[in-house]
Amino acid sequence: MNDRDESVTRLLRFRQALEQLIEDLLPGPADSVAPGGPPAPLDVFLRSDEVEIQVELPGVSAKDLELSAHGQRVIIEGLRPGQAADTGTWLCLERPIGRFRRVIELPAVADTRRASAAMQDGLLVIRVPRIQDRRGSLREIAVTEVPRR
């Protein structure tokens, strides 16, 4: 690898790290997308019974993914395979490689403990069942009479 290729590779890694930092720090209504495009393109569907998240991850295998939930957020982390050019000079570098992370704020109250995920042909599909949001609903509280002493 020549000095120019190494510099370009380091610059691209820096860009990915900077985009991730911006995504982690700036609040967004659903998912903060850093300038230059998201690290993993996704669609979020809100259905009456579930939230479905579809993530494009070509070349990524299920063993290279880590899915977790924190509160009403789904966190997708993984590693995209890739290789540095051993010889030659990069003319175009658009395909992201290396580590990535997406944090998706669920658009509805959902039961993340019952979430499921499946990977097929480079498409990760995550399904999270919705639950009724009971916060803010009116609930009667019984009052008991305490006798005087």
In tens, the pLDDT along 27-69 reads 544 444 433 345 688 899 999 999 999 999 988 899 999 999 9
Contact call for residues 100 and 77 (beta carbons, < 8 A): yes
Stronger pLDDT, 87 or 147, i.e. the higher one: 147
Per-residue pLDDT reduced to its tens digit, 80-129: 887 666 677 777 777 777 788 888 989 888 999 999 999 999 999 999 99
Which pLDDT score, from 0 to 100, does residue 37 have?
42
Q: Is the pTM of this model over 0.85?
A: no
Residue 117, Cα to own-chain centre: how many angstroms? 13
Q: Measured between alpha carbons, how far is 2 from 97 in angstroms, rounded to an integer?
A: 19
- Tell me how far apart the alpha carbons of residues 129 and 52 are, in angstroms, rounded to a whole number: 9
Give the residue among 69, 39, 68 at the shortest CA–CA distance from 55: 39
Domains of the chain: 3-129 (2.60.40.790)
In the numeric block, which tokens belong to residue 96? 């992201």
